């Protein structure tokens, strides 16, 4: 019975709530983990939920436990509405102390080294060759991630009609089906995007997607992750870099330059500014810089 409810709930999330396929897949994993834990029980009590929470606390981070319970709570609300199933979450709240974790960033110097290596490699291979085309594509991907703060899923989903290189604009479909307009204003980034679009024009037109892999199909998020690991290794960068770290760097570096957090909220496509406030931490380097330049003691002349 519960598996049928789960399937229907996931369909509801995808078709009615317009959640992304990645989010629906993650919900399914969380719900089936709970189904496995209850081992066929059809009466879900608060005590059973509490036992599940205790089992998670021993193996998962607080943030993961909180996410799994949020999914479970939403599922039971759906089951209560649709099937009149008793909701064990009614008048029952779980308190989970969530540890605050600062976002992992790619330092600006590291991003510069990564891009420098890519552009240098372009000068060492035959122009318009397959190797050259891959280098241009990878540089365009990294440049766009850093220039806009896009999620990797948003970047890979860009269609030919979404991006206007001439105007330096891209219409992005974010979480929950929300769209936002992002801007690309740096001349070097626009230049590499134009070169990429020219080289891959045939595949772009054929697939309808802007970013294409080496066999002419839409580029996937996993391919981007693998590419970044490979390019970082070639640049002799020891840091483990993920696509999402470019998004964190984009937001944090803009904030450190004095950009209003409300603008950053819009750039990132956050529906609530509370989500964006994770970036209000200031790096150690910035703290030292502020104290060196702003502290009044620096202007005191004491014999």
Catalytic residues: 151, 175, 244, 247, 270, 279
Kindly state the DSSP code that residue 219 receives in the 8-state scheme: P
What DSSP letter does each residue of 7-34 carry, written as one string?
A: HHHHHHHHHTS---HHHHHHHHHHHHHH
CB atoms within 10 A of CB 182: 22
Distance, CA of 46 to CA of 57 (rounded, Å)? 16
Cβ-proximal residues to 120 (8 Å cutoff; 6+ apart), any chain: none
For the chain, what is the radius of gyration of the CA atoms? Answer: 23
Distance, CA of 209 to CA of 217 (rounded, Å)? 8
Cβ-proximal residues to 222 (8 Å cutoff; 6+ apart), any chain: none
């Amino acid at each position: 019975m519960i598996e049928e409810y789960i399937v229907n709930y996931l369909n509801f999330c995808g078709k009615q709530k317009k959640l992304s396929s990645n989010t629906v897949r993650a919900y399914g994993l969380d719900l089936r983990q709970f189904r496995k834990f209850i081992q066929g029980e059809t009466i879900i009590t608060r005590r059973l939920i509490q036992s599940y929470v205790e089992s998670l606390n021993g193996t998962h981070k607080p943030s993961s436990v909180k996410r799994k319970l949020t999914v479970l709570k939403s599922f039971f609300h759906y089951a209560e509405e649709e099937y009149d199933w008793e909701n064990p979450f009614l008048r029952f709240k779980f308190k989970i102390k969530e540890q605050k974790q600062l976002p992992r960033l790619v330092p600006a110097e590291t991003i510069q080294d990564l891009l420098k290596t890519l552009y240098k490699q372009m000068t060492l291979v035959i122009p318009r060759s397959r190797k050259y085309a891959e280098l241009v594509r990878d540089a365009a991907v990294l440049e766009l991630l850093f220039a806009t703060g896009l999620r990797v899923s948003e970047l890979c989903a860009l269609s030919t009609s979404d991006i206007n290189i001439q105007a330096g604009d891209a219409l992005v479909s974010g979480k929950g089906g929300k769209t936002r307009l992002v801007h690309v204003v740096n001349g070097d980034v626009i230049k590499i995007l134009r070169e990429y679009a020219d080289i891959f024009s045939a595949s772009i037109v054929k697939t309808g997607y802007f970013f294409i892999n080496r066999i002419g199909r839409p580029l996937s998020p996993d391919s981007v992750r693998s590419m970044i690991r490979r390019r970082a290794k070639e640049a002799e960068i020891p840091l483990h870099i993920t696509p999402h770290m470019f998004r964190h760097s984009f937001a944090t570096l803009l904030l450190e330059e004095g950009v209003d957090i409300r603008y950053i909220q819009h750039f990132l496509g956050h529906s609530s500014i509370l989500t964006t406030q994770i970036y209000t931490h200031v790096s150690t380097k910035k703290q030292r810089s502020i104290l060196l330049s702003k502290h009044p003691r620096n202007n005191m002349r004491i014999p």
